[in-house]
Amino acid sequence: MDLQVEIMEQDEETAVLAAAGEVDAYTAPKLKEALLPLTKKENFLVKVDLKDVSYMDSTGLGVFISALKSTKENNSSMKLVHLQDRVLRLFEITGLIEIMDIEWGANG
């Protein structure tokens, strides 16, 4: 019931942030702390790899909403990749799938 967050790759224009574990009220601040600074660089693309995130609730959605707002303010972009079905489902139910750049499954 923990969350690991790690920057896997980073260059001038992009970064891949990989998260693994469960995102809930306890662990969401950790994700936010790692993700938000990456959204504050102009023309920067941050990919969040959620392949190993087995659980997420609205606290996680809240982090991505904050991050999305930050990308709009800072002219950067964010893409969520490799979402597991259960996690993807929350983005579908809430309609966030319409406003976020999301790729899921093996091809994401």
Partner 1 sequence: MKQEFDFVEIRIPAKAEYVGMARLSMSGIASRMGFLYEDIEDLKVAISEAITNAVTHAYREEPGEVTIGFGIYSNRLEVMVADRGGSFRLEDIKEKIGPYRHDEPIENLREGGFGLFLIDALMDKVEISNDHGVIVLMTKFLSEAEVDVSDDQISAT
Which residues make up the interface to partner 1 (CB under 8 A)? 1, 22, 24-26, 55, 57-59, 61-62, 86, 90, 93-94
Nearest to 55 by CA among 4, 21, 19: 21
For residues 10 and 94, which CB has a smaller minimum distance to partner 1 in the complex? 94
- The percent helix, strand, coil of the chain (3-state, each to 5) is 40, 40, 25
For residues 15 and 88, which CB has a smaller minimum distance to partner 1 in the complex? 88
Q: At its nearest, how many Å lie between partner 1 and the CB of residue 57? A: 5
Q: At its nearest, how many Å lie between partner 1 and the CB of residue 73? A: 18
